[in-house]
Amino acid sequence: MLQQLFFGYYAFIIIGLSLLVVTRKNPGHSVMWMLLLFFHIAGLYLFLNAEFIAAIQVIVYAGAILVLFLFVVLLLNLREEIALRQTVGSWPVAFFMCAILFVAVTAALGAYVQGPVGGYSIDVIQNETHAKALGKLLYTEYLFPFEIASLILLVAVVGAVVLAKRKLRS
Torsion of CA 159, 162, 165, 168, to 10 degrees: -170
Residues numbered 70-109 forming contacts with another protein, rule: CB under 8 A? 71-73, 75-76, 78, 81, 84-88, 91, 94-95, 97-99, 101-102, 105-106, 109
Query: Smallest distance from the beta carbon of 65 to another protein, in angstroms?
Result: 5
Four-residue CA torsion sign, 67, 71, 72, 78? positive
Query: Smallest distance from the beta carbon of 20 to another protein, in angstroms?
Result: 10
Among candidate residues 138, 145, 117, 148, the one with its CA nearest the CA of residue 53: 138
CA atoms within 13 Å, Cβ hemisphere of 15: 5
Residue 32 in the binding site for another protein (CB under 8 A): no
Residue placing its CB nearer to another protein in the complex, 7 or 127: 7
Interface residue with another protein, options 68, 74, 129, 143 (CB under 8 A):
68
Residue placing its CB nearer to another protein in the complex, 99 or 127: 99
Query: How remote is the C-alpha of 64 from its chain's centroid?
Result: 12
